[in-house]
Structure 1
Amino acid sequence: KSPSSVHASHRDEFFTKLHYAQVKEPFYRQYVCGPLLGSGGFGSVFSGQRLSDGLEVAIKQVSNDRVGTWTRLVNEVDPVPMEILLLQRLTEFGGHRGVVRLLDWFRVKGRGFLLVLERPPHSQDLFDFITERGALPERLARRFLGQIVDTLLFVHAHGVLHRDIKDENVVVDTRTLDVKIIDFGSGALLKETPYSDFDGTRVYSPPEWILSGSYRAEPLTVWSLGVLLFDMVCGDVPFDSDEDIVRALPDFPARLSSGCRSLLRWCLCFEPQLRPSLQEILSHPWMGGGQEEEEEEQMSNTGDF
């Protein structure tokens, strides 16, 4: 091609993209916003509906002053919240059943950003699920943990670190007992070197963050999973204060199986380098059941479970 034709091609491509950006229908012509579902440091989440087909969605509003990290997207002039980039990465190529899907996003004058997210039917966050039912049977906690770890392997494989794994950021389909991870607002791009910033939940943070303000990706994630597993099988998190976190000696109820206690101690090991990898969690004997199932049955028969 001649230089002039190449320039013309680039110009046409630029104006095509510019035209698309200009003609994209505004949010209020594509969706209707319903009642507030919840709010917190991350922003506010509303129920919503897509007008074209009636699809039920969740609409997350994030004000500019609540954005922890900004980044840039291809074809976008202005920066956007890191959460959008992370969710786009995880939604590409079909996504994963365990990650909430980003359907669309909008920059809205005076409102910051609106993220249109998948809203699974019959869903309840794991915090409310545990609050209503109390400590979960080990079989059910094992089922949830296995799904969460499998999802996090996908998340990490796509270069994303969630950084706020906790019961409030896991939603359960109460019919199928399938779970999804939500809220990547504290997330970051995955890297091998240590992180020196953390916007996650304090009682889920590891000792190395409390003591030195630094942590690595997988040991952080595994510690948070240990806290989450304890929360599921005991009905509450193991540590209430920084002193408890640094001590790293959770108090186990007698009714817990030896296998469950073993996995918890491994995940909640003070030394980050001694914690398991995500794959090693899945390979732990407790994740396969077996002897621990028999212990549960025995405790159940004696009325202790």
Structure 2
Amino acid sequence: MLDNRTVDLRLDQLEDVRAKNAKEHFEKRYKMGALLGSGGFGSVFSGQRLSDGQHVAIKQISRDRIQQWAKLPGSANAVPMEIALLLCLGGGSGSGHRGIIRMLDWFEMPGQEYLIVFEKPQQCQDLFDFITERGALEEPIAQRFLKQVIEALQFCHSEGIVHRDIKDENILIDTRTGDIKIIDFGSGALLKDSIYTDFEGTRVYSPPEWILHQRYSARPLTVWSLGVLLFDMVCGDIPFERDADIVRATPSFTKRISKECQSLICWCLSYRPEDRPSLEQILQHPWMTESSEDMGYLQAKSNIKPSL
């Protein structure tokens, strides 16, 4: 475990973010609305930015729930690792990646808690609810979503960050366009080539090496979770519920899906980490390169409109 570990980060363009949060109080900038959801990570509320009425999501985290801390340059005080990672990914600066939720603001509040303010797409639904409502997704839709997730993860890795909790609940779907955004970096960490011995992600998405040995490497862990995610999309549920099933690493396909799709899932769910593909190899897999997506079909099946 990395309880209360503090990591020094080198981040650019953070002075304005720190100064803004030091001078202005949350109540002068935002109005908090109804509770949207809660869990081990904290609670998320709807909200509104007072300056222009923009709808936002506000994540509330208690200090005693924070496992990892990071020191920002020029600051004596540490902040939750999640805030530091989001700053690395462009939070507050207007840059970033379209497939990653953008942090707009953050505040250290009296009463031992932090508030993180995120953009909130107008018409969005997490992938868990999307699948629950529609059932197993047609392969072209799953292909489109998976490609976007991988491209967003490639950006994370290029910025030295690993998410560590890729699952359907942490992927937002814009139901108008079919575009995705990865959310919740509360289990994230700095990307390294050495072994990790801590894990705060979701157990049923974790690989055999974590279940058996409480050790893993970042990239094979990510690819395993993508195999679970793809199975979830095309079959309507995750492949493994019990530790014994995860360790067996042999998914039983409950829906009729193409051999190419089965091949990619099984490759991602290889028992040995070294046998799993890289993110680049997933994108080059024959199932991923098929031009089977038809936007008219997508719109009819899932009420997703073509992107402009």
Q: TM-score range by the shorter chain?
A: 0.7 to 0.9
Residues 1:88 and 2:87 aligned together: yes
Quote the offset at 1:148 in angstroms: 0.2
SS at match of 1:58: strand
- C-alpha contact (below 8 Å) 1:258/1:292 kept by paired residues: no
Paired letter, 2:58: I
- C-alpha contact (below 8 Å) 1:259/1:292 kept by paired residues: no
TM-score when normalising by structure 2: 0.86
1:223-251 deviation line (CA, Å, top 9, x unaligned): 00000000000010000100000000000
Q: Relative to 1, partners in 2 of residues 1:186 and 1:256: Cα closer, same or farther, differing over 3 Å?
A: same
- C-alpha contact (below 8 Å) 2:234/2:255 kept by paired residues: no
Q: Relative to 1, partners in 2 of residues 1:220 and 1:22: Cα closer, same or farther, differing over 3 Å?
A: closer
SS at match of 1:94: coil
Quote the offset at 1:75 in angstroms: 3.3
Q: Relative to 1, partners in 2 of residues 1:170 and 1:20: Cα closer, same or farther, differing over 3 Å?
A: closer
Q: Relative to 1, partners in 2 of residues 1:220 and 1:74: Cα closer, same or farther, differing over 3 Å?
A: same
Q: Relative to 1, partners in 2 of residues 1:28 and 1:265: Cα closer, same or farther, differing over 3 Å?
A: same
Paired letter, 1:66: R
Matched with 2:69 is 70
SS at match of 1:155: helix
Identify unmatched segments of 5+ residues in structure 2.
Answer: 1-14, 295-308
Distance, in Å, in 1 between the alignment partners of 2:274 and 2:120 is 37
- C-alpha contact (below 8 Å) 1:32/1:51 kept by paired residues: yes
TM-score when normalising by structure 1: 0.87
SS at match of 2:89: helix
Paired letter, 2:266: R
Q: How many residue pairs are counted as aligned between the two chains?
A: 277
SS at match of 2:215: coil
Q: Which is higher, the Rg of structure 1 or of structure 2?
A: 1
- C-alpha contact (below 8 Å) 2:164/2:222 kept by paired residues: yes
Paired letter, 1:149: I
Matched with 2:45 is 46
Paired letter, 2:146: L
Matched with 1:55 is 54
Paired letter, 2:83: I
Paired letter, 2:180: V
Deviates more, 1:90-99 or 1:28-37: 90-99
Matched with 1:172 is 173
Distance, in Å, in 2 between the alignment partners of 1:181 and 1:110 is 29
- C-alpha contact (below 8 Å) 1:61/1:111 kept by paired residues: no
Q: How does 1:1-305 map to 2 (within 5 A)?
A: 20=19, 24-91=23-90, 94-253=95-254, 255-289=256-290
- C-alpha contact (below 8 Å) 2:228/2:269 kept by paired residues: yes
Paired letter, 1:80: V
SS at match of 1:98: coil
Quote the offset at 1:252 in angstroms: 1.2
SS at match of 1:70: strand
Q: Which protein has the bigger helix share? A: 1
Distance, in Å, in 2 between the alignment partners of 1:291 and 1:77 is 53
Distance, in Å, in 1 between the alignment partners of 2:116 and 2:73 is 18
- C-alpha contact (below 8 Å) 1:100/1:180 kept by paired residues: yes
Quote the offset at 1:253 in angstroms: 3.1
SS at match of 2:75: coil
Distance, in Å, in 2 between the alignment partners of 1:240 and 1:106 is 37
Quote the offset at 1:120 in angstroms: 1.3
Q: Relative to 1, partners in 2 of residues 1:49 and 1:80: Cα closer, same or farther, differing over 3 Å?
A: same
Distance, in Å, in 2 between the alignment partners of 1:197 and 1:286 is 33
Distance, in Å, in 1 between the alignment partners of 2:94 and 2:222 is 24
Identify unmatched segments of 5+ residues in structure 1.
Answer: 1-15, 294-305
- What percentage of aligned pairs have identical amino acids? 61
